[in-house]
Amino acid sequence: MTALRHALLLLVLLPLAACKNDAPAPVAAGEAAPAEQATTQAASAEDPQRAAQAEAAVQAAAEAAAKAPPPVEGTDYVTIANGQPFDTAPGRIEVVEFFGYVCPFCAAVQPQVAAMKAKLPPDVHFVYVPAAFGAMWDNYAKAFYAAEAMGLLDKTHDAMFRAIHIDQTLKGERGMDKPEDIAGFYANYGANPGQFLNSMQSFAVATKMNRARQYMTEAFANGDQMGTPAFVVAGKYRVKGKSVDDMFRIINQLIVAERTKLGAATPAAPAPAAAEAPQG
């Protein structure tokens, strides 16, 4: 129950205390990184109790979206000038999460993200985009893309949050993990450590890192400070919101609004609750 209370507290505070792009220096041994103490005991998406709570929260957000007024530009979302999807085929609606494995608030919200992702209808494509704010952030962003190339993400994404923020077998913001240490984590899930290191240092991963940085810069071009977690719908709308539940409510509404613009019917699979198009 203590873990669950910590997770719920962070979900309430998250929009006010997201991880920012001023990446901290590694923390000295024995010290706690900012906000890290609060997430040390936070439940993960692999925790059955936390997963059930997250699923209920996602359902509540969908129901709230159906009853709430349309989202308002500037308050609920920011329109991205000339925005385009990051990695989604035409005709599908993209939801992007900017995240960082070392970010304690991303760790706290991951169970709810996982629950939402599992319930998205066929016309919605969810994409994780790792933030690269320098220092330890970059090593973990490289690891994300190396794991993606090796087909390991389904097994390792939630597990990486757990390793950093719960088990503390990796340092995250408490220090500076060597690339070899990170590769060792993925070796537990079938990766060859040497091949994984080579992938982290490859031109292909560097190219993806540069594209992710550029996409995040464009999403925050209005002058807001870049931070994680952050969500973009359809490449056009960066979600704001006053709380985590509010953010998921807005995501649901923007999905339906974009579907309306595309002239598509709601798929038969479970879909976000209906909402009117956003108003400026």
Q: Residue 22's pLDDT band (boundaries 50, 70, 90)?
A: low
Amino acid 41: pLDDT: 40
pLDDT at residue 136, rounded to an integer: 92
114-169 pLDDT, tens digit per residue, is: 999 999 999 999 999 999 999 899 999 999 999 999 999 999 999 999 999 999 99
Average pLDDT rounded to a whole number, residues 224-232: 95
Query: What is the model's pTM?
Result: 0.79
- Mean pLDDT value of segment 31-46: 45
pLDDT of residue 128: 98
User: What percent of the chain lies above the pLDDT cut of 90?
Assistant: 62
**pLDDT of amino acid 7:** 44
pLDDT in tens, 91-105: 899 999 999 999 999
What is the band of 25 on the pLDDT scale with cuts at 50, 70, 90?
Answer: very low
What does the mean pLDDT of the chain come to? Answer: 82
The CATH superfamily of 2-23+30-262 is Glutaredoxin (3.40.30.10)
pLDDT at 37 over 60: no
Spell out the domain ranges in the chain: 2-23+30-262
CA distances from 32 to 26, 28, 150, 176 (A): 10, 8, 33, 13
Greater pLDDT, 11 or 127: 127
**Given this model, what pLDDT does residue 6 score?**
45
Q: ω before 70 within 30° of 0 (cis)?
A: no
At 78, the pLDDT band (50, 70, 90 cuts) reads very high
- 209-248 in b/e form (b: 16+ CB < 10 A) is beebbebbebbbeeeeebbbbbbbbbbbbbbbbeebbbbb
The reported pLDDT for the residue numbered 38 is: 40
Residue-level pLDDT at 58: 57
43 CB contacts (<8 Å, ≥6 apart)? 3, 4, 6, 7, 49, 50, 111, 166
* Average confidence (pLDDT) over 242-270: 84
Residue 31: pLDDT over 70: no
